[in-house]
Amino acid sequence: MPTMQRWRMQSLRTGWGMEAEPTAEGRKYLEQQRRAQKDKFKFCRLYECLQAMPDRVPLRKAFQLTHRAYL
């Protein structure tokens, strides 16, 4: 199974996340989104990860986590 390196931002507290391409522009985009949508991404952390299922998680689109959301 192919894996892809990506920037990932997610918050277990709000239950939202987003991924971007593994470049400086991708990281900047996630930081801009974190500032623009403070209610969704308030407690997010930004890190680089290897995505095991790159076709299931679209780039630059917010997604809701299916587990571990502490509201």
34 near 43, Cβ under 8 Å?
no
In this predicted structure, which of 2-6, 19-23, 36-40, 45-49 has the lowest mean pLDDT?
2-6
pLDDT score recorded for residue 66: 75
Would you say residue 54 has pLDDT above 80?
Answer: no
Backbone φ and ψ for 7, nearest 5 degrees, come out as -90, 135
State the pTM of this model: 0.81
d(CA 54, CA 31): 21
Domains of the chain by residue range = 4-61
pLDDT score recorded for residue 2: 67
